[in-house]
Chain A
Amino acid sequence: MHRTIATILGSFLWLSFATGQVAVIANKSVPVDEVTSQQLLDFYTGDVKLWENKDPVIVTDLKPEGEVKALFYEFLGKSPSRMKSIWLKKMLSGEGDPPEALKSESEVLQKVSSTPGAIGFVSEANISDDVKVLTVIPRKD
Chain B
Amino acid sequence: MKFRDLKLGTKQIIGFGCILLIMAGVNVFSIHKMTQLKIEIDEISRNWLPRALAISDINKNTADFRIKQLQYAFAVDPGEQETYKTLMISYIDQIEKNRNTYEALKSDSEARNLYSDSERALYDQFERQLDRYLDLSISHLMLSRENENEEAVALLNDEASDVFNQLSATLLELVNVNKDDAQEAAVRAEETHHASRVIITSLLIATIVLSIFIAGMLVRYIAEPVSALDEAAHSVAAGNLDVTLPVRSRDEIGSLAGSFNRMTTSLREATQKMQQQREALEQANSDLEDKSQRLEKQKTEIEQTNLRLEKQKIEITKKNVELLSTMEELRNTQQQLLMKEKMAALGDLVAGIAHEINNPIGTVTSSTDVTGRCLQKIEIVLEQSSTIEQLRSNPQLPKAIKIIKDNIRVTLTAGHRIATIVKSLKNFAGLDEATYRVVDIHDGLDSTLTLLESEFRGRIEIEKQYGELPKVGCYPSQLNQVFMNLLKNAVQAIENKGVVRIQTRRQDGRVEIKISDSGRGIPAEKLSRIFDFGFSSGSERVKMGSGLVTAFNIIQKHDGEILANSEPGKGSTFTVLLPVR
Q: A85 and B96 in contact (CB under 8 A), knowing A92-B89, A93-B89?
A: yes
Indicate if the CB atoms of B95 and A84 lie closer than 8 Å.
no
**Chain B residues with Cβ under 8 A from A80's Cβ?**
131
A88 within 8 A of B: yes
Q: A81 and B141 in contact (CB under 8 A), knowing A88-B92, A89-B93, A92-B89?
A: no
Name, among A81, A82, A87, A98, the residue most crowded by chain B CB atoms within 10 Å (CB to CB). A81
* A14 CB to nearest chain B CB (Å): 29
B127 within 8 A of A: yes
Indicate if the CB atoms of B141 and A84 lie closer than 8 Å.
no
Q: A81 and B89 in contact (CB under 8 A), knowing A88-B137, A88-B138, A88-B141?
A: no
Total count of chain B residues near the partner, CB < 8 A: 18
Within 8 A of A (CB), among B88-120: 88-89, 92-93, 95-96, 99
**Chain A residues with Cβ under 8 A from B99's Cβ?**
82
**Bound-state Cα–Cα, A69 to B92, Å:** 23
Indicate if the CB atoms of B92 and A87 lie closer than 8 Å.
no
**Complex partner residue of B131 from A81, A89, A98, CB under 8 angstroms:** A81
For B469-485 the 0/1 string (1 means CB < 8 A from A) is 00000000000000000
**Complex partner residue of A82 from B93, B96, B128, B137, CB under 8 angstroms:** B96
A79 within 8 A of B: yes
**Bound-state Cα–Cα, A87 to B127, Å:** 16
A91 within 8 A of B: yes
Closest to B145 in A: A91
**Chain B residues with Cβ under 8 A from A88's Cβ?**
88, 92, 134, 137-138, 141
Indicate if the CB atoms of B127 and A81 lie closer than 8 Å.
yes
**Chain B residues with Cβ under 8 A from A81's Cβ?**
127-128, 130-131, 134
**Complex partner residue of B127 from A79, A89, A93, A98, CB under 8 angstroms:** A79
**Complex partner residue of B138 from A79, A93, A98, CB under 8 angstroms:** A98
**Bound-state Cα–Cα, A79 to B88, Å:** 20
Shortest Cβ-Cβ A-B pairs, 3 listed: A81-B131, A84-B134, A92-B85
Chain A interface (Cβ < 8 Å from any Cβ of B): 79-82, 84-85, 87-89, 91-93, 98
Chain B interface (Cβ < 8 Å from any Cβ of A): 85-86, 88-89, 92-93, 95-96, 99, 127-128, 130-131, 134-135, 137-138, 141
12 extra interchain contacts, Cβ-Cβ under 8 A, other than A81-B128, A89-B92, A89-B93? A79-B131, A80-B131, A81-B127, A84-B138, A85-B95, A85-B96, A85-B134, A88-B92, A88-B137, A93-B85, A93-B89, A98-B138
